[in-house]
Structure 1
Amino acid sequence: MKTALLQLTSSDDPVQNLEMVRSMMVEAAGQGAQFILTPEVTNCVSNSTTRQREVLQEEENDISLAGLREQAAALGVWLLIGSLGIKTHDADGRFANRSFMIDPNGQIAARYDKIHMFDVQVTETETFRESANYRPGTTAVVAETDFGKVGLTICYDIRFPHLHAALAQAGARIITVPAAFSPVTGAAHWESLLRARAIENGCWVLAPAQTGEHPKTRGKTRQTYGHSMVVAPWGEVLIDAGTDPGIHFFDLDDSSVTEARRRVPSLTHTRPFDGP
């Protein structure tokens, strides 16, 4: 199945971002893509809580979700919206970082809220406290599609092998890792982590990413690593998209999952053990 990763440089303007993504979807489908994936925070990349409160919306009113569902239906494609920043009804006012699998009729086949929050000090001048604005999800999700089961993760989740193992053991043959990775940690760890999760689980790892310096209305400038990546079940990197925005195509072949798991059936060798 022809599949397309969209590498984006989203701004903090959801209206502008929606127009950009819809146009790229049309181009990707026009070249034969039946499954299209977008990165984390497709609708708004911003370091400003004030700006996020101005432009983010509840799921039922979100223009990005509605517009992308409509576009998927018009094109008759599967769409992984890597994630959207979504307002919630939580008392503390925190948002959700939510991924959506959209079917070719524009219906929501699955939704997943990012479980692991990126609360780190990368350098002396670069600190992230994702949990200050986003509340963590609590449930792992496998989406049912007509091309197989897809495990949903988001960005920082990639550092937690047990999540990916749980998805694979629940039947996932593809795991999605939409991201807005830091340039510092991206250069050090991105490829290694993606390849490890693919090899451990004998599955496809599809990682559409944000890239470059993101246009902003207010707040600090945000930069992301790019290098959207496709890793095959045996660990081969089939796509490294570099740092330019664009569309990247590949053929998703389920038989390679079967072959990788036949050669090293580690998912069937998991054993319980006592703690140290």
Structure 2
Amino acid sequence: MKAAVLQMTGGIDPAANAQTLVAAVHDAAAAGARMLFTPEMSNLIDRDRARAGEAIVAEQADPVLAAVREAARAAGLWVHIGSLAVRRGDGRLANRGFVIDAAGELVARYDKLHLFDVDLPSGESWRESAAYAPGETAQVVATPMGVLGLSICYDLRFAALYAALSEAGAQVLAVPAAFTRPTGAAHWQVLLRARAIESAAWVIAAAQTGVHADGRATYGHSLVVDPWGEVVLDMGGAPGLAFVDIDDARTVDVRARIPVLAHRRAIPVVAPVLAR
């Protein structure tokens, strides 16, 4: 199955971001892709919380989601929107991914479980939890690419999530992101390859890239990694659309060679009791 991966430099204007996404849907379908994968925060990249708050609405009212659903329906293409910033019913925000089928229907949604609260040596400081609420559950969904396990960006550092997704049947892992440049250069590829190897699954990681209108810089290098851990696509630093074939036979072969899923065991941890 041919998958399309969008690497974009999202900005502070949701309407402009929607145009980028809709164009990618139609271009992906025209090239014969069955499914398009987009980055984290596809509707809005804006570190000015007050300004961003004016543009973030409930998913039912989000114009970017509506535009992509209509484009997916018109093009007959499945779409994984890596995530959108949306407002929850309780007024807090969610970093939420969506899977849209070829009829434009929502078939899955996932709220980011692990929020990015870090102080980097570069001087960058991020407190995602100051505005966003974490999700509570993981999510898998059947798609033309196979059973897809959903995650978002910082989730990548928590191997237990991907173990749970592969235990639930995931054959492909989606890791949309807006990685910072320092953490991207240090950890992006090695973590994605590790998640693919330990789950014997394809990993599709669509990423934001470049310098954004709000002043932040993201790493890019959208990757697709096969179940053996080989990088089959690296989009570098430029925005654009790329294509890759997701071959289920590769998954079957790798899982037969090294059946890591069958060999997993629950491991109790025992603390030593020291004599007094």
Give TM class, smaller chain. over 0.9
The 5 Å alignment of 1:1-276 reads 1-90=1-90, 93-123=91-121, 125-216=123-214, 221-276=215-270
Q: What displacement does 1:43 show?
A: 0.2
Whether the aligned pair in 2 keeps the contact of 1:109 and 1:144 (CA below 8 Å) is: no
Whether the aligned pair in 1 keeps the contact of 2:200 and 2:251 (CA below 8 Å) is: yes
Aligned residue-pair number: 270
Q: What displacement does 1:124 show?
A: 5.2
Whether the aligned pair in 1 keeps the contact of 2:122 and 2:182 (CA below 8 Å) is: no
Tell me which moved more, 107-116 or 22-31: 22-31
Whether the aligned pair in 1 keeps the contact of 2:203 and 2:224 (CA below 8 Å) is: yes
* Alpha-carbon separation, structure 2, partners of 1:271 and 1:122: 35
Q: Please report the TM-score for the alignment, with normalisation by the length of structure 2.
A: 0.96
Whether the aligned pair in 1 keeps the contact of 2:35 and 2:145 (CA below 8 Å) is: no
Amino acid corresponding to residue 188 of structure 1 in structure 2: A
* Alpha-carbon separation, structure 2, partners of 1:116 and 1:159: 9
Q: What displacement does 1:270 show?
A: 1.3
Change (3 A) 1:141 1:238: same
Q: CA RMSD in A?
A: 1.0
| Percentage of identical aligned residues | 50
Deviations 1:102-140 (CA, angstroms, capped at 9, x unpaired): 000000110000000011111252011111011000100
Instruction: Return the index of the structure with the highest Cα Rg.
Output: 2
Deviations 1:206-262 (CA, angstroms, capped at 9, x unpaired): 00000000124xxxx111000000000000000110000000111111111111111
Amino acid corresponding to residue 5 of structure 1 in structure 2: V
Whether the aligned pair in 1 keeps the contact of 2:145 and 2:172 (CA below 8 Å) is: no
Superposed structure 1 runs of 4+ greater than 3 Å apart: none
Amino acid corresponding to residue 154 of structure 1 in structure 2: I
* Alpha-carbon separation, structure 2, partners of 1:241 and 1:209: 9
* Alpha-carbon separation, structure 2, partners of 1:68 and 1:196: 32
Deviations 1:188-207 (CA, angstroms, capped at 9, x unpaired): 00000000000001000000
